[in-house]
Structure 1
Amino acid sequence: MEKMLTGIRSTGTPHLGNILGVIIPSVSIANKKKKYTSFIFIADLHSMIQIENIKEIKDNTYQIAAAWLAFGLNTKNCFFFKQSDISEVTELAWYFSCFFPYQRLTLAHSFKEEIKKDKGRISVGLFTYPILMAADILLYNAEIIPVGKDQLQHIEITRRIASHFNKKIGKKLFILPNAFLQKETMSVLGTDGNKMSKSGKNWINIFSEENILKKQIMSIRTDSKSLEEKKDPKTNYIMSLFRMIANSEKIDTKYTEGRYGYLEAKIGLYEHIIHKFSKERKRFFSFMKKKSLLDDILYSGAKKAKNIAMKRLNYIRKNLKFNSII
């Protein structure tokens, strides 16, 4: 069976982009037990490059876990765990960091973007983020990695690491993973027209209280066209979200004919999200009231994943020839 692996950083509740681009397609894969072995983890170690408050990371971890379960993840069919519970991943990341060229990491888009913002706040953890991500994937030899468009370069770095390691050792120790990217959700735009992200503060959180969710949707940026004017649905942020979660033909027609304003479109989008994700919202709030249950589920998943991680790392150690790698 093919192995699928994906994770979401515990930097807050998953936004609509996370849900459409990662959670929904990953749950669909993970629940097909006979075809796939799935590893789904909460990347709490990765989140430390943004958040220093451990309590905040823990609270976010509960939200991430509740979101996955709210969308129907069957934990009996997969390995569902916290990244920090698998210490083997950090050891493997160290092996990788000792031979991967420094200069190649400086070319990582995520690093270059942060450098532009504030050089003084760049941590070693942010710089080596792709190395730890490679260890997450290669520790389990996962072949399928559902990711967003912004993570494609990190998958390519992982493939380079795997290929280089295999060549140095003279054995196919690691499988070269492939990104799984859904074209229809390749780039989910936020309320300002840029890629939806928590750091960009342009996200839509479907698990927000209704008044907050409505406020987020009402803040979607639009142009100055009047109610009567015809509008192009292909260039509109509201319509791009509608297309991802609903049949938008009727609304497309209203846009092109005119007499359909942005306020009406935003209200329609809000009502559709509330209706479409009503079950998931209810489940999410229910799980958030049962944090001890979430702890048990994650602990059980970590025990299963750790057994595999320990065996894999022992095998990797036996095959390491430090004089030819470092």
Structure 2
Amino acid sequence: MRRIFSGIQPSGNLTLGNYLGAIRNWALLQREKSYECIFCVVDQHAITVPQDPAELRRATREVAAGMIAGGVDPDDCILFNQSYVPEHAMLAWVFNCVARVGWLGRMTQFKEKAGKDRDNATVGLFVYPNLMAADILAYKGTHVPVGDDQKQHLELTRDIAQAFNSMFGVDFFPLPEPQIFGTATRVMSLRDGTKKMSKSDPSDMSRINMTDDADAIAQKIRKAKTDPEPLPSELAGLDERPEARNLVGIYAALADQTPEQVLAEFGGRGFGDFKKAMAEVSVSVLAPIGEEMRRLSNDPATIDAILHKGGERARELASPIVKEVYDIVGFLRP
């Protein structure tokens, strides 16, 4: 069985980067029917930094709404929130006793998030890659859609799986393979093409939120940073133009084209023409998603019912796997 696992944190507004880099790809994978797809709102990962409890619950529902509005069909996949399935944390403890401190100490995201004051970082922030490994391996996930910034975590997951198999002389866990998608997997800020589009950026004009309406989407594209030169006709002409490269990549992804096709149409033309066309494409794709996401977010009972059903299905898969892990480790289950 080829089984995909992927998750997203409930840490504020979903952006165009979340949609193009993850949610849209999940919907495409689900429709292929060649994988069993398990998608998760990873609320346990979210508390590695302080959270307001009421806001965390609201954000968890909002992210689930965004996933559904973006094309993830809970009838064709398993969609749930991580904390509903205790097997994730149960397996993570075993992996805490398999992974090595040196492996975790090399993780780039810990270094970035902990900063210079590492002694005050929580233990959870340090070991959360082990929980990420448990998220995947609790289902014996074989494939993981990842962006470039997550490849290191998947390598750690493979190391943990291999170390567990070696420690206990078993061939139990698979070594999950990455799935890295092409165009616009890494969407950059509309104000600075060298920085990733982020929901934590103080400027709302730096990003397109999945909840933005048509007017907001069009305005943000019109005001997106560019340079004075016309668009080139060849990809090489974007090498030293990060803002232009970013907008071309976004347009290509939303229009289901390659960047080469975009430049063949707009090469030699100014950004005025290009932004007008880009706004039309963006609104046609994103505005209906935002409308549906807002509708779902206003119906928390429906979201809760979907997550409950998905959580029960997830437990049906994870529970026997984690029980077998406990038997392998030697835990007594009287």
Same fold (TM over 0.5): yes
Asked if the contact 1:134/1:157 (under 8 Å) is kept, the reply is: yes
The code of the aligned residue for 1:25 comes to: N
**The one of 248, 252, 257 aligned to 2:263:** 252
Q: State the shift of 1:242 in Å.
A: 1.3
Q: Quick one: structure 1 residues 117 and 213, their matched pair in 2 at CA, closer, same or farther if it must change by over 3 Å?
A: farther
Asked if the contact 1:51/1:57 (under 8 Å) is kept, the reply is: no
1:15 and 1:42 map into 2 onto residues whose CA distance is 15
Q: State the shift of 1:51 in Å.
A: 4.3
2:50 and 2:208 map into 1 onto residues whose CA distance is 20
Q: State the shift of 1:136 in Å.
A: 0.2
Residue 275 of structure 1 pairs with residue 284 of structure 2: yes
Residue 10 of structure 1 pairs with residue 14 of structure 2: no
Residue 164 of structure 1 pairs with residue 175 of structure 2: no
1:134-190 per-position Cα deviation (integer Å, ceiling 9, x unaligned):
000011000011111100000000000000000011111111101111022332222
Asked if the contact 1:30/1:73 (under 8 Å) is kept, the reply is: yes
Q: State the shift of 1:118 in Å.
A: 5.2
Q: Which consecutive residues of structure 2, in runs of 5 or more, have no partner in the other structure?
A: none
Q: Quick one: structure 1 residues 120 and 271, their matched pair in 2 at CA, closer, same or farther if it must change by over 3 Å?
A: farther
- Trace 1:77-116 onto structure 2 (pairs within 5 A): 77-116=76-115
The code of the aligned residue for 2:198 comes to: S
Q: Which residue of 2 aligns with 1:129?
A: 128
The code of the aligned residue for 2:298 comes to: K
Q: Which residue of 1 aligns with 2:212?
A: 208
Asked if the contact 1:4/1:143 (under 8 Å) is kept, the reply is: yes
Q: Which residue of 1 aligns with 2:324?
A: 315
The code of the aligned residue for 2:268 comes to: E
Q: Quick one: structure 1 residues 250 and 98, their matched pair in 2 at CA, closer, same or farther if it must change by over 3 Å?
A: closer
Q: Which residue of 2 aligns with 1:28?
A: 28
Q: Which residue of 1 aligns with 2:198?
A: 197
SS of equivalent to 1:183: coil
Higher mean alpha-carbon deviation, 111-120 vs 56-65, is at: 111-120
Q: State the shift of 1:199 in Å.
A: 3.0
Asked if the contact 1:139/1:309 (under 8 Å) is kept, the reply is: yes
The code of the aligned residue for 2:141 comes to: A
Q: Which residue of 2 aligns with 1:55?
A: 54
When the two structures are superposed, what TM-score results if normalisation uses the length of structure 1?
0.88
SS of equivalent to 1:13: coil
1:219 and 1:49 map into 2 onto residues whose CA distance is 35
Asked if the contact 1:148/1:181 (under 8 Å) is kept, the reply is: yes
Asked if the contact 1:30/1:36 (under 8 Å) is kept, the reply is: yes
Residue 294 of structure 1 pairs with residue 295 of structure 2: no
Q: Quick one: structure 1 residues 239 and 28, their matched pair in 2 at CA, closer, same or farther if it must change by over 3 Å?
A: closer
Q: State the shift of 1:49 in Å.
A: 2.2
The code of the aligned residue for 1:304 comes to: R
Q: Quick one: structure 1 residues 121 and 200, their matched pair in 2 at CA, closer, same or farther if it must change by over 3 Å?
A: farther
SS of equivalent to 1:39: strand
1:243 and 1:31 map into 2 onto residues whose CA distance is 21
Asked if the contact 1:238/1:265 (under 8 Å) is kept, the reply is: no
Q: State the shift of 1:249 in Å.
A: 6.6
Q: Quick one: structure 1 residues 122 and 20, their matched pair in 2 at CA, closer, same or farther if it must change by over 3 Å?
A: same
When the two structures are superposed, what TM-score results if normalisation uses the length of structure 2?
0.86
1:281 and 1:150 map into 2 onto residues whose CA distance is 26
2:56 and 2:162 map into 1 onto residues whose CA distance is 34
Structure 1 vs Structure 2 CA RMSD: 2.3
Q: Quick one: structure 1 residues 250 and 308, their matched pair in 2 at CA, closer, same or farther if it must change by over 3 Å?
A: closer
Asked if the contact 1:3/1:39 (under 8 Å) is kept, the reply is: yes
Asked if the contact 2:184/2:250 (under 8 Å) is kept, the reply is: no
- Counting matched residue pairs gives 315
Q: Quick one: structure 1 residues 294 and 220, their matched pair in 2 at CA, closer, same or farther if it must change by over 3 Å?
A: same
Identity of aligned residues (%): 30
